[in-house]
Amino acid sequence: MLISLRNDHKEHLNLLTTQSVQVLIDFCKLAIDFLQNGPNLKLYTTAAEKLSVDLDAVQNCIYGLVNLLLLSCKYKLSEADFRDSILTLGFSSEQQTILHKFYESKKTEVARIITKLSVSEPHYDDLEWRFEVQVSSRALLHQVVPLMTLDLSLKTMKDDGSGYEKEHLLLQTDVNNLLHITQELEKALIESRSRHSRKIQRALNS
């Protein structure tokens, strides 16, 4: 599919169409730097002086590139679709190759992050278990109660997307319930690989 960009977005990127390949490469590098370290006004001022344009125009170019990257990742564009989408912006074939390389280099990383950003809910992280036998307590001196103590660790994406917040839940269960839970979850796993599930998955992917 093709993505259509907003008009102001097109205007912002327009400056780059008239620049040399080397300048475009440098801007792509600046955009990558922006993704990793945030805005760097010093670099943008230098770039603006070299090209003798406004600082704003340079900044808008960088933001435009980043936005282009995010949109392309959102729609998971193939190479052909990506090229067609930027063709309308007036980039030359050589420039398209550069921009595609820029997209390819960051595609997986950005895609991974934006899928996780969507709805943050507690997510399974790890499970530790310990088998215990309760042999005595204040209320009953002699007893033998086998118990399974579980440390379930869950992670939730922080609001600003900067990482995970982990929480540890200490739970216990008896042997019967442990067996029941294990069998039940295994059923879920088997079900997800059943013909019915795979059929739906294929239908959704196509």
Partner 1 sequence: MKFDENIKKSLNLANNATAVTDATFKGLLENCFSVLTGLPEPHNVTNLYNSKPDLVKELYAALLSITAEFVRSGQKSDSIRDFLNKCGYNEAKISFYTDLYDRNREEIEGSLINVGSHLPHITDVTWKIDYIIKSSCVDASEGPLFRIGLQTEKYNSEIGGKKVELVNFTCDSQELQDLVYKLKDAVRHCQRIGSEH
Binding interface with partner 1 (CB under 8 A): 74-76, 111, 114-115, 117-119, 121-124, 127, 129, 131, 134, 137-143, 145-146, 148-150, 152, 154, 169-175, 177-182, 184-189, 191-192, 197, 200-201, 204-205
Q: How far apart are CA 98 and CA 107, in angstroms?
A: 14
- In the complex, least distance from residue 140 CB atom to partner 1, rounded to whole angstroms: 4
- Closer to partner 1 at the Cβ: 51 or 154? 154
C-beta neighbour count of 175 within 10 angstroms: 11
Residue with tokens 């440098």: 26
- Closer to partner 1 at the Cβ: 29 or 112? 112
- In the complex, least distance from residue 155 CB atom to partner 1, rounded to whole angstroms: 9
Q: Report phi then psi at 38, rounded to 5.
A: 85, 180
Q: Report phi then psi at 78, rounded to 5.
A: -80, 175
Q: HEC string of 181-194?
A: HHHHHHHHHHHHCC
- Closer to partner 1 at the Cβ: 60 or 72? 72
- In the complex, least distance from residue 150 CB atom to partner 1, rounded to whole angstroms: 7
- Closer to partner 1 at the Cβ: 33 or 125? 125
Within 8 A by CB and 6+ apart from 13, the residues are 5, 61, 64, 65, 68, 89
- In the complex, least distance from residue 95 CB atom to partner 1, rounded to whole angstroms: 26
Q: Residues of 151-163 as b/e, b for ≥16 C-beta within 10 angstroms?
A: ebebbebeeeeee
Q: How far apart are CA 196 and CA 96, in angstroms?
A: 42
- Closer to partner 1 at the Cβ: 21 or 200? 200
- Closer to partner 1 at the Cβ: 63 or 75? 75
Q: How far apart are CA 53 and CA 59, in angstroms?
A: 11
C-beta neighbour count of 112 within 10 angstroms: 11
- In the complex, least distance from residue 191 CB atom to partner 1, rounded to whole angstroms: 6
- In the complex, least distance from residue 94 CB atom to partner 1, rounded to whole angstroms: 29
